[in-house]
Structure 1
């Protein structure tokens, strides 16, 4: 790709870009599956001809199906989903005729490892959770439930399997759900929403933090994950989450720059914990913040450089 004039992106090493005469061509590869896109038809044609000389390849035309993800276009934008993958999964697991559930997890459910739990087939559990994780590429609403059930892969019990079955029942409720990337003529801006559930894990009292990121009003990244350390307050849990979210936003910023978009306004980071926001703005050294010292200086630096802003937001919102 580099000998053909393409530049490899530092933000995503599977992405190659070529810019000429104010136009751009993007080429992204996953093992032996490739997507070519851009606004330079001549260059796209030349690239495909070049690749066909180097490799045995097949041009499948306009993008409709890629790595199990279905894509459709309209005047409103681009819609992606995994309906076929969803239906096939329900059929293979014998859940095609199950009673649908309207949420992926029971409200208030707290799972843990119990000494008297009824064991289940570990391999089947691991396979089911693994397949559901792939489905989460287009289903942000599965992120939290999957982050919980994936914590018990080594020793699942009956309650854990029931939670996985609940997720499958939820898929039956709405198999065609996906994400719409709406047409947007505005310049891209980055908005990050972050939150943390303090000391929720019963087994080790670690917190679960989550985030979702919008670029130009469209949801592009999200995650729900148990933190690596035990936090001693809700403010600390939120603060550690904020530092990781800024890293995610910075990656998106650099990726947009590779694509030719420079952000005109700071990244908007939304956090509803007032104490965490106060520490970010006024990092006074005291006992409450000594153990998050690196995160303090990292966040303060981005705020001082006007790369990131922390708008006020209420918990109700």
Structure 2
């Protein structure tokens, strides 16, 4: 999903066209390389030998080889046309001929096509139609359950329909909305309440909430917490999950805005909650990356080992963020956007910044593993430039801990999250009046 958001963010900044195509019966196009036999289909009779089997010449749905065979078939067709595969994300292909640029992003049988060459895209779509049974869905509007709207301000991504389905399934369409998703001083990890009699409901709800992270960075921390209790959920965990649903009730159409006014530069924020887990005392890391002002990558992750100091926890988090930033720099190069200047990485811990500038900085570095020193290597290579940021301006703070209502609202407002349904005047029709698919939001 990070690649999808990056692709759409670059397309919004460069004013690329975006089209979508869907392959009919994708797995049936694959060619098998191994010998695979199957039993006779039901209803097929062979009077000569009842023990006969079929030798497959093409892949079928249900075979373990089917996805690989289909992707190999598609990759061969794209390579023959002149596309090159990205080494940062093998599901992305690019074609550059002079000033013409065409990019393709593949997810199984769903394909996004973008670029600056209208005639080139039309010719390529015709070529795909000759190679496969494919459906042209026109301009990109709905991809992998994500609703896509576009105007002069940029591209807006949300999952309003999916969110309303979750609220309806739980039976909370008439509930009172919650102002923020989780209490600030929660004790969910230490809960000793009764176990749920039907844990499957909790697992299904949390599983569905996980997919909302594609367009809802404000839910990252709370879903990270709820996902830790899938094995033995308790009543307190279920109540917290229902609170998230009530929060969604008040913001069903909230999503991220990929701005068209973008400098195409990467910016990173990293933060850590030292010893945040009361059971293991492992720290919680969080990072947030934007392309200009457009959010493209975010994550909350519990560290693998317990840190001996806050500086160590922050430095480990910085190392994880640097790894993500380096990958994004390579991905941006595949889009034809080189990051010539060092990428700014904002951190609010001075000790971690000192260690990044000088890794032999006193005894605190003894407990830090050698692999964390990739931060120093990235700084020396000119890829990363660390920046001190005040704690109140640390955007990654919302990914590491539960905040109060006022702090949560202030932080969410800075993440590039936007809710077109919350406009006091004008409403959606005024903001997206030039869109021919406004019915998605109504």
Question: So what's the TM-score if we normalise by structure 2?
Answer: 0.69
Alignment match, 1:82: 159
Alignment match, 1:305: 381
**CA-CA distance at 1:296 after TM superposition:** 4.7
Number of equivalences: 316
Query: Which structure carries more relative contact order (alpha carbon 8 Å, separation 6+)?
Result: 2
1:25 pairs with one of 102, 116, 125:
102
SS of the residue 2:241 aligns to: helix
Tell me the distance in 2 between the aligned counterparts of 1:151 and 1:109. 14
Q: 1:206 to 1:313 in 2, by over 3 A?
A: same
Alignment match, 1:141: 218
Task: Kindly indicate whether the alpha-carbon contact (under 8 Å) linking 2:311 and 2:364 is maintained by their aligned counterparts in 1.
Answer: no
Alignment match, 1:315: 391
Task: Kindly indicate whether the alpha-carbon contact (under 8 Å) linking 1:111 and 1:160 is maintained by their aligned counterparts in 2.
Answer: yes
**CA-CA distance at 1:115 after TM superposition:** 5.0
Alignment match, 1:290: 366
Alignment match, 1:152: 229
**CA-CA distance at 1:230 after TM superposition:** 1.2
2:188 pairs with one of 97, 101, 111:
111
Q: 1:120 to 1:206 in 2, by over 3 A?
A: farther
**CA-CA distance at 1:295 after TM superposition:** 3.9
Alignment match, 1:250: 326
SS of the residue 1:154 aligns to: coil
Alignment match, 2:128: 51
1:131 pairs with one of 186, 193, 208:
208
2:248 pairs with one of 150, 157, 171:
171
Task: Kindly indicate whether the alpha-carbon contact (under 8 Å) linking 1:120 and 1:161 is maintained by their aligned counterparts in 2.
Answer: no
Instruction: Decide which structure has the larger Cα Rg and report it.
Output: 2
**More deviation in 115-124 or 157-166?**
115-124
Counting only pairs closer than 5 Å after superposition, residues 118-267 of structure 1 correspond to structure 2 as 118-184=195-261, 186=263, 188-267=264-343
Q: 1:316 to 1:114 in 2, by over 3 A?
A: closer
Tell me the distance in 2 between the aligned counterparts of 1:115 and 1:133. 25
Tell me the distance in 2 between the aligned counterparts of 1:96 and 1:31. 34
Tell me the distance in 2 between the aligned counterparts of 1:130 and 1:257. 34
2:157 matched to 1:91? Answer: no
Tell me the distance in 1 between the aligned counterparts of 2:255 and 2:126. 34
Tell me the distance in 2 between the aligned counterparts of 1:266 and 1:121. 51
In the alignment, structure 2 segments of 5+ residues that lack a partner are: 1-77, 394-442
Of Structure 1 and Structure 2, the greater helix share is in: 2
Question: So what's the TM-score if we normalise by structure 1?
Answer: 0.96
Q: Considering only aligned residues, what root-mean-square deviation do their CA atoms show, in Å?
A: 1.4
**CA-CA distance at 1:120 after TM superposition:** 4.1
**CA-CA distance at 1:272 after TM superposition:** 0.2
Task: Kindly indicate whether the alpha-carbon contact (under 8 Å) linking 2:269 and 2:345 is maintained by their aligned counterparts in 1.
Answer: yes
1:276-302 C-alpha deviation (Å, 9 max, x unpaired): 111111111654212324245311111
Tell me the distance in 2 between the aligned counterparts of 1:113 and 1:161. 14
Task: Kindly indicate whether the alpha-carbon contact (under 8 Å) linking 1:206 and 1:227 is maintained by their aligned counterparts in 2.
Answer: yes
Tell me the distance in 1 between the aligned counterparts of 2:368 and 2:194. 37
**CA-CA distance at 1:210 after TM superposition:** 0.6
**CA-CA distance at 1:255 after TM superposition:** 0.7
Task: Kindly indicate whether the alpha-carbon contact (under 8 Å) linking 2:94 and 2:101 is maintained by their aligned counterparts in 1.
Answer: yes
Tell me the distance in 2 between the aligned counterparts of 1:134 and 1:282. 40
**CA-CA distance at 1:118 after TM superposition:** 3.4
Counting only pairs closer than 5 Å after superposition, residues 263-282 of structure 1 correspond to structure 2 as 263-282=339-358
Tell me the distance in 2 between the aligned counterparts of 1:316 and 1:34. 41
Alignment match, 1:35: 112
Q: 1:128 to 1:88 in 2, by over 3 A?
A: same
Alignment match, 2:4: none
Task: Kindly indicate whether the alpha-carbon contact (under 8 Å) linking 2:262 and 2:291 is maintained by their aligned counterparts in 1.
Answer: no
Tell me the distance in 2 between the aligned counterparts of 1:185 and 1:193. 18
